[in-house]
Amino acid sequence: MWIDVSHLGAEVVERSFRGMVKRCRDFGYDLARTPVEVGPTTHFMMGGIAIDSACHTDLEGLFAAGEDTGGVHGANRLGGNGVAESTVFGGIAGDVMADWVAGRPRLRVSRSAVDAAARRVLAPLGRAQGERVYDLQSRLRGVMWDRVGLIRSGEGLKIALGEIEEIGRRAEEAAVPGGQEYNLAWQDWLNLRNQATAAWLIARSALERAESRGSHHRSDLPTPAPNLYNVYVRAEDKAGPGCGRNRCASADSARPARRPRQPPSRSD
Ligand SMILES: Cc1cc2nc3c(=O)[nH]c(=O)nc-3n(C[C@H](O)[C@H](O)[C@H](O)COP(=O)(O)OP(=O)(O)OC[C@H]3O[C@@H](n4cnc5c(N)ncnc54)[C@H](O)[C@@H]3O)c2cc1C
């Protein structure tokens, strides 16, 4: 795929897109005068944690803003609105959190839950035998590109979910040599588990969205459904950590929830 903006005139392109012209030149291309090869890539996550207009999540004391959250842009973000979102909602979250925390006693923390979480993340340290984290990460990327990328299908998404779950299971047994100090393999192991969870949530939501809309295109369902709806995925009550266990709690919750839209407003 090639982009050709030479019809704008070299002088206009060089003046208006100085950074891009320079970046292309660094790679041996002349954007102002000749076609430049381009390719699609992941640019933005439209989905994420559900928040209200004051950045509260369903978990008391957990606030979220920016690209970690979903619902601000609908089915496709307009260019330039990503930074605007993180600036606006980041500001709101900061104000609301400061008000929320002032004068409030510390939340009670379950010692046993903290110990269990620590055991889980420390478990692989020193495991010299097993699959390489990077091989599993590369496989995860391949699955997401091939089956959950630009054009999706119900069949492909089901295959992807199976593969993601398998990668998540195998990640639990992957090799993580070394100790806790500056151990990049361990950090990437932690990342891989989170990536597998995020991948599962994306694929599961895409399967649930039985239509094509915005950046979500299903080859088996190429047109938009008549009604707008949001898709929510939540962990089962007894779900443990890791990918593949974050299932919809029931057939009911797997159905897209239809919530009235709220106008953006400050809680105060
Ligand atoms: C290539 C590219 C080009 C883009 N161009 C534009 C554009 O032109 N205009 C526009 O509006 N938007 C653009 N976007 C989107 C925009 O940059 C993002 O939507 C926006 O920056 C998201 O802000 P954020 O604060 O939510 O998240 P981020 O900017 O991703 O910030 C998250 C921060 O959390 C840190 N972090 C992650 N994990 C941990 C952890 N465990 N502990 C501590 N810190 C952690 C990260 O290092 C990062 O600093 C672009 C995105 C990409 C990828």
pLDDT in tens, 228-257: 888 888 766 444 333 332 333 333 333 334
Mean pLDDT of 84-95: 96
226 pocket-lining for ligand 1 (C-beta < 6 Å): no
Q: Which of ligand 1's atoms lies nearest the C-alpha of 69?
A: 26
pLDDT single digits (tens) 109-136:
899 999 999 999 999 998 989 999 999 9
Domain boundaries, the chain: 2-37, 51-103, 122-254
pLDDT single digits (tens) 32-81:
999 999 988 888 998 899 899 999 998 889 999 999 999 889 889 988 89
Task: Please name the residue that has the structure tokens 């057939």.
Answer: 251
The average confidence (pLDDT) of the chain is 86
pLDDT single digits (tens) 136-167:
999 999 999 999 999 999 999 999 999 999 99
Write down the pLDDT at residue 106.
Answer: 87
Which of the two residues, 260 and 206, has the higher pLDDT score?
206
Write down the pLDDT at residue 252.
Answer: 36
CA of 110 to the centre of ligand 1 (A): 32
CATH tag, 122-254: 1.20.58.100
Write down the pLDDT at residue 235.
Answer: 67
DSSP states along the chain: -EE--GGG-HHHHHHHTHHHHHHHHHTT--TTTS-EE-----------B---TT-B-SSTT-B--GGGB-SSSTTSPPTTHHHHHHHHHHHHHHHHHHHHHTTPPPPP--HHHHHHHHHHHHTTTTB-SS-BHHHHHHHHHHHHHHHSSSSB-HHHHHHHHHHHHHHHHHHTT-BB-S-STT-HHHHHHHHHHHHHHHHHHHHHHHHH--S-BTTB-BTTB-S--SS--B------TT--SSTT----SSHHHHSPB-----------
CA atoms within 13 Å, Cβ hemisphere of 131: 18
Write down the pLDDT at residue 236.
Answer: 60
- pLDDT tops 60 at residue 268: no
45 pocket-lining for ligand 1 (C-beta < 6 Å): no
Mutate to test the pocket of ligand 1, among 86, 187, 194, 195 (most ligand atoms within 8 A of CB): 86
